Structure 1
Amino acid sequence: MVENMGHNTTANTSKNSTSESSASENSTSNSTVTRIVIIGGGSAGWLTAGVIAAHHGEQVHVTLIESANIKTIGVGEGTWPTMRDTLQKIGISETDFMRSCDASFKQGSQFINWGSSQVPDNYYHPFSLPAGYAQGHSAHVPRSSDLSFAQMLCPQAIWCDAKLAPKLGSDKEFAGQGNYGYHLDADKFAKLLKKHCTEQLHVAHIVDEVIGVSGQCTDNIEAVITKTYGNVVGELFIDCSGGAALLIDKHYKVPWLSQQQVLKNDSAIAVQVPHKSSECDINSCTLSTAQTEGWIWDIALPTRRGIGYTFASEFTGEHIAKAALLNYIKKQGLSKPDAEAIRTIKFNPGYRQTLWYKNCVAVGMSAGFLEPLEASALVMIELSAAYIAENLPQNHVHMETVAARFNREFSHHWQSAVAFLKLHYVLSNRADSEYWQTMRSQGIPKNLSELLALWRYQVPKHQDLPHKNDIFSVASYQYILYGMGFETAITQSVLSAQSKTLFKDIQLSVNRFAEQGKQTLPTNRALLLNIKTHGIPKI
């Protein structure tokens, strides 16, 4: 759910590290950017280090500094399908990843009771596109009273109902019958990344406390000052120090743009609980279940489930949230966790006003965090790391241009994410608390209001989103909109222009593929056991 709040463990320095012996090499406007210093470990720091080091090889020296005193949250993390591409780029095999990170397959999210508190309802936001989407036909398909939008147009909804895996045992690494991401143990993932980055990608690793910065807050950073190791010099500094935000906030004082007026949630109660048994089914989607004062995430790994209650402190207290969480766990037939195992996480939903300032880039929670809904935290890290790697500045003059473009791109990403998350609440008909009434009616972003007004009379299409790189596609909007009963007033003339044969063909194709998967795909647990024993065929 939440990435590392700061930086963490073990010592390992290499020839790539830079120390106070070179501190006199002050950065100038023409100095080449070859030394990158990352502050903070966890998922944010090590993913960023791995992506940059793999992309540039020995041409760039990457040093990561982390504290031995800060631990990861580690309640369970959901990824997007983008993680498959990221793992391939940095050179980690899917077999090693699955085995090392206690990982399971994720095909999307299931939303339970978000539409109403009176009538049980659920719908899926799968990772695979709805059938007919590329041709613009998906949203024109007539609604069925028996099947949800996702069930009509995506086999993965059917497969998730049956707790099936998205791939066969014979499918090669990173390939499957449907699009998929992962559920993983965040702490184990950070450890795997650290091992791979230091041993295979030659990332220098320093375990120490950052106690200061060399350089004025109005100019570029020359070095970070560590308690034991001394000065660590670089031309580009990446702040992955989580909530501490040691560089972007403590040094540069870049403002935080709170989105609490839009997304009220600012707290979570989280715990890990074992499965009922070692043979029980493992969900291949994240469960998101609406509650009277918030919602519960439920992420299933091979050995346990990470469960948490997200809520707004404005409307409810920790004791109420904790009671609701324990009640959910009891209803799931799971054992009651020890009181000390339950953790409270506080956050201020929002993002930095400027994400790349001078020669410092914020990545991870130092850059922004909204809430666990739709698991956008890790993908923001992946996108940021890839952008830096692919657009690494040649010098500080070039950096000004790259930084400006990065800031425009990622400010848009954060604004888009805010609007998409708000969509889930705006469409809800729940009226069982002040929380839901407020979430539905207050703080609706202008861009979301315009889209909803547009989609009342025309089906969502690609060009409705002005930015070609929006992190949530129109397909994702369709799944949420029509999953929650949103209606588009399509005229008869538009409907008659659509071939009834086309609708029938789309439906038959989805049904055929869904049924084929039910006959051939293993359960999530069965495939995970097979991978543990035999691995996944290499590409």
Structure 2
Amino acid sequence: MRVKNIAIIGGGTAGWLAANHLAVELRAEQDITITVIESPEIGIIGVGEGTVPHIRKSLMKFGISEADLLATCDTTFKVGIKFVDWMAAGPSGIENFYYHPFSSPYPGGIDTSSLYLQQAETTEFAEVTEVPGLAEAMKAPKKIESPPFEGPVNYAYHFNAVKFGQLLAKNAVQKLRVKHKLATIIDACLNERGEVDYLLTQEGERLHYDFYVDCTGFNSLLLGKLYQVPFVDKSAQILTDTALAVQIATEPACEIPPYTLAKAHQAGWLWDIPLTNRRGVGFVYASAHMTQEQALQGLAAHLGMDAERLSPRRIPMKIGYREKFWCKNVVALGLAQGFVEPLEATSIFVTDLAADLFARNFSVDKSGMSVAADYCNKVISYTWERVMDFVQLHYCISDRRDSDFWRLNTMEPKLSDVLTERLAMWKFNAPKKSDFFSRFDLFDVENFLFVLYGMKYKTIKKNMTQAELQAFTRELQNVRNTESFLAKELIGHREWIDGFLAAYKSMRPA
């Protein structure tokens, strides 16, 4: 039997990413209709404002121009994440920080980890890239003349998540023939084969489709409530479970950091994401180790504001994922599939990957569904497990012991077998590409290197020949030369954004 009608329940970033991926993959199937059903009553979380460079590939696939993204979504550039206070304070009490940049830690294609280990006490690992110096100088990663989606420094974006969803929706509807229906879905009914037969709206309407994509957020209406697919709880690994989120307007002339700030505190961390006109700030904490009032005071202190003036949005976070994301004629994406705290911009990344994987493996013939489902479920379960490992890595290798939260994370961590094995290996040998044998390790050797050695993980030094030392030193000097050159060639982040927006506006009809 052929699939002809697909319903995506829920809009937002997840729903519209799914619509674009499916519509592109099925564009030759003229008899297939894709409909996004969006409730006018249910809002979206709307705080997933950081991305990784992979999003550029998806935007190009969809046919969305970088110019439209920059102009319509309050977008800024992101060259990486600046981690502050994830290590114990030194004798001077000065805050410590390291960068996880998007640039490669292999300058000239050479593995510099052995050289770094020789100089670990005096060298920051991220200095094997040009990013820290340029980021601290608030430089844009692109030149004025850089082509779309390209620049001398690798980058992703920060953007207004609500506006990004609207941009995805406009593209899907206007360019890719996706239909948009407003309705609030309250239930669904199964047929005799155990498949979803129809959706029931708040108004009593029955909506029949052949396939359903559940993007109903934490509610997980179809996969969670209807099919009761078990939830794999990861709260023992990731202890944070709550976030307080606010949006703070910024002055038009203020500098825009080209990075996400991730600053640790006694019971978690906070994000600070700069857009063109505001900052999105979220205070992430473990409610078992900090009260909401303490969290509010911590958020206020970071912002330099009185707590009484703040009315943050409280976001409970259920850490884990569904045992399967594809069941019968239902696939779940976004929060309906799983969630881990937003460290390292995991939410949009996993959603984008899962939507792409699903769309590429989708069969218009129902007889091919079960094989595709089995394969995709294995892939996504593996992906979630490794994402959990990478997030937990930031906590478990810290040398902070200043609170029960940090002592529990570092002295009694509940690690997966894979992370346990890898950390044991990396005490004797620096991470290698071959340690990551699956392309579905979304965070691979390069990411782990920056976090491990940004946090001064102890790996035994290797003896090196004089020739090796000279070669590595030469490559690092090339990086410094490149950084000095780009520091002169690249303009400020705010200057680039303002110049672009003025040019974009001048080219648009009044």
> After TM superposition, is the score higher than 0.5?
yes
For 1:447 and 1:498, locate their aligned partners in 2 and report how far apart those are by CA, in whole Å. 35
* Change over 3 Å in CA distance of 1:338–1:284 after alignment to 2: farther
Structure 1: segments with no counterpart, 5+ residues: 1-30
Equivalent of residue 450 in structure 2, options 465, 468, 479:
479
Equivalent of residue 81 in structure 1, options 50, 53, 74:
53
What letter is aligned with 2:426? W
Contact 1:460-1:478 at 8 Å conserved across structures? yes
- Asked whether 1:456 is paired with 2:431, we answer no
Deviations 1:409-433 (A, max 9, x none): 0100000011111110011111110
Q: 1:439 offset after TM fit, Å?
A: 1.5
TM-score normalised according to structure 2 size: 0.94
Provide the residue aligned with 2:153 in structure 1.
178
Contact 1:117-1:431 at 8 Å conserved across structures? no
Task: Count how many residue pairs are aligned between Structure 1 and Structure 2.
Answer: 499
Matched-pair identity in %? 32
SS at match of 2:419: helix
What letter is aligned with 1:174? F
After superposition, residues 200-349 of structure 1 pair within 5 angstroms as 200-216=175-191, 219-228=194-203, 230-275=205-250, 277-330=251-304, 339=309, 341-349=311-319
* Change over 3 Å in CA distance of 1:498–1:244 after alignment to 2: farther
Equivalent of residue 92 in structure 1, options 64, 77, 93:
64
What letter is aligned with 2:207? V
After superposition, residues 371-390 of structure 1 pair within 5 angstroms as 371-390=341-360
- Asked whether 1:467 is paired with 2:432, we answer no
Provide the residue aligned with 1:397 in structure 2.
367
Provide the residue aligned with 1:101 in structure 2.
73
Q: 1:523 offset after TM fit, Å?
A: 1.2
Q: 1:83 offset after TM fit, Å?
A: 0.9
Contact 1:260-1:349 at 8 Å conserved across structures? yes
Provide the residue aligned with 2:408 in structure 1.
438
Q: 1:471 offset after TM fit, Å?
A: 0.2
Contact 2:13-2:164 at 8 Å conserved across structures? yes
- Asked whether 1:412 is paired with 2:382, we answer yes
Contact 1:283-1:300 at 8 Å conserved across structures? yes
Q: 1:204 offset after TM fit, Å?
A: 0.8
- Asked whether 1:129 is paired with 2:98, we answer no
Provide the residue aligned with 2:468 in structure 1.
499
Equivalent of residue 6 in structure 2, options 36, 39, 59:
36
Which has the higher mean CA deviation after the structures are superposed, 53-62 or 526-535? Answer: 53-62
After superposition, residues 351-362 of structure 1 pair within 5 angstroms as 351-362=321-332
Q: 1:226 offset after TM fit, Å?
A: 2.3
SS at match of 2:199: strand
SS at match of 1:78: coil
Deviations 1:103-145 (A, max 9, x none): 1000110100101144421000001111348443445443254
Provide the residue aligned with 1:114 in structure 2.
86
CA RMSD, aligned part only? 1.9
For 1:528 and 1:336, locate their aligned partners in 2 and report how far apart those are by CA, in whole Å. 31
Equivalent of residue 44 in structure 2, options 60, 72, 86:
72
Q: 1:461 offset after TM fit, Å?
A: 0.4
Contact 2:114-2:462 at 8 Å conserved across structures? no
TM-score normalised according to structure 1 size: 0.89
What letter is aligned with 1:380? V
For 1:475 and 1:326, locate their aligned partners in 2 and report how far apart those are by CA, in whole Å. 35
For 2:40 and 2:460, locate their aligned partners in 1 and report how far apart those are by CA, in whole Å. 58
Contact 1:223-1:233 at 8 Å conserved across structures? yes
Provide the residue aligned with 1:508 in structure 2.
477
Equivalent of residue 18 in structure 2, options 44, 48, 73:
48
Q: 1:279 offset after TM fit, Å?
A: 1.1
SS at match of 2:186: strand
Q: 1:209 offset after TM fit, Å?
A: 1.2
What letter is aligned with 2:77? F
Provide the residue aligned with 1:24 in structure 2.
none
SS at match of 2:442: coil
For 1:389 and 1:82, locate their aligned partners in 2 and report how far apart those are by CA, in whole Å. 17
SS at match of 1:109: strand
Contact 2:427-2:458 at 8 Å conserved across structures? yes
SS at match of 1:212: strand
